[in-house]
Structure 1
């Protein structure tokens, strides 16, 4: 099995796993919320419901992102992952807003929490199931570099913290008889959801807006160029990513008296050196005679 095929299989498995996990947690949390009436538990039920919608969207987006490049999409379909990330962020903002409104209502009109032990048992089960999913997603992200799976993993990592905070709120509300503990923790969870949504949206927008690779990666590229003895200089280094696919383009400045064949040979050597550090990237190199200054927009 080729590396690309293995990566595709892992990404699909990750989307199936997240969708199945969200569906399972919705079932058990719904039963626990009906038994306890806890607004903090309701918050996690809402979050799991949104998780299911986001994971289903992710599943469709990943399938689209894995479609090979075609005549109408020469750069592939990788940005479908970023669009799914924006959809996930929108879902999370909606759930966070609803939760904050519900928690505010409970602050004004506190209600006791019953059968807190049921809710705690469900939260422990949710933490175990979510940790297993996050561990798998992180392994997939390390091996594939998928932004959609990474965003989904970030979301579910937040769920682990949320479920832990719900356990604390249930213990306080049921054990001490302090009903405000439940909505206060729900407000904290709502704030966390908003932060989570911003992180997901930022990652997605960076891809959609063709943000440059981190400066550390650009420095690695410049170091590779500097090691070749026949490369006089370079300019117009541009980088971006689209899903798992990355793109690097630059102009090499070479001695003006080189033959076209020799210039091409040097360019190929530089390309191979870059691909050794950035496998799977699409590298485009243009050769220029050194010392000829063209009118161009200068970038770092």
Structure 2
């Protein structure tokens, strides 16, 4: 990774952390002023964002470290460990908010919301900040192809839904006195939090358990190998994931009568092509003699 790409990735990570801290502070104030569960759900999501942003920034810096004697395959697995911990936090947050929402819906006299106007203003500011952050992250992701930045951008985009829901709930309470809308929105947000937690947790678990990469990626790498000049075939194409990295091992079959220099040039060229096409891949190419029978 070049210095410019690393600087862009770090700038996206710092911007993400800064926005997350700002949103947590603003939504804490809004929660205290309104007692809105939908705001609480949005606050929990922003707290999660802060954890993910810190983890993402740490992962960008840590994963950029070169492989060493103790970590021959690099340091990108830290992303999966952080994601697994974050998924547990999301599950707990979603469960707490969901239970609270159900209790309010079943209560004879649910607590009334207050200061809805100020709450709406805070949530509107949070939407503007989030949207600006997403625009910057997507620009960086297009330039650097960093999956941590791209994933963080996608997560912040999903945050816009509960924020809009909180505004609608506060507006319904202020305009029509329908406080139950707040609990319904919070319950929906809790469901989204739980679904997101399970998705993040599964992805991290799969990577930690050395699950293979996306079958489409495997097939695409196989197609590159089949079409590469001098390669008569390939076998034992194996992959595993670690954070945003995909480790690829492939055996290519070559003419046994050619020189070692020629065989090396074919394997090195194929490796460069795979990495140029899929920058998140780390590739090892083994060279075998093709079966002449």
Q: Which runs of 5+ in 2 are unaligned?
A: none
Once the 2 structures are TM-superposed, how far is the Cα of residue 278 of structure 1 from its aligned partner?
3.0
Q: CA separation in 1, counterparts of 2:20 and 2:178?
A: 31
May I ask how many residue pairs the two structures share in their alignment? 291
Once the 2 structures are TM-superposed, how far is the Cα of residue 229 of structure 1 from its aligned partner?
4.5
SS in 2 for 1:170: helix
* Residue-by-residue CA offset, 1:120-144 (whole Å, 9 max, x unaligned): 1111111111111222223333333
How high is the TM-score relative to the length of structure 2? 0.88
* Residue-by-residue CA offset, 1:171-207 (whole Å, 9 max, x unaligned): 2222222221111111001011111222222332343
SS in 2 for 1:247: strand
Provide the residue aligned with 2:9 in structure 1: 11
Once the 2 structures are TM-superposed, how far is the Cα of residue 292 of structure 1 from its aligned partner?
7.6
* Residue-by-residue CA offset, 1:48-104 (whole Å, 9 max, x unaligned): 233333333333333222222111111110111222222222222121111112212
SS in 1 for 2:247: strand
Contact 1:237 1:249 in 2 (8 A): yes
SS in 2 for 1:76: coil
- Closer, same or farther: CA 106–218 of 1 in aligned 2, 3 Å: same
Contact 1:249 1:283 in 2 (8 A): yes
Contact 1:14 1:137 in 2 (8 A): yes
Provide the residue aligned with 1:43 in structure 2: 41
Contact 1:84 1:148 in 2 (8 A): no
* Residue-by-residue CA offset, 1:156-177 (whole Å, 9 max, x unaligned): 2222111001111112222222
Q: CA separation in 2, counterparts of 1:88 and 1:150?
A: 17
Q: CA separation in 2, counterparts of 1:58 and 1:273?
A: 28
Contact 2:229 2:266 in 1 (8 A): no
Q: CA separation in 2, counterparts of 1:197 and 1:157?
A: 16
- Closer, same or farther: CA 282–148 of 1 in aligned 2, 3 Å: closer
Provide the residue aligned with 2:78 in structure 1: 80
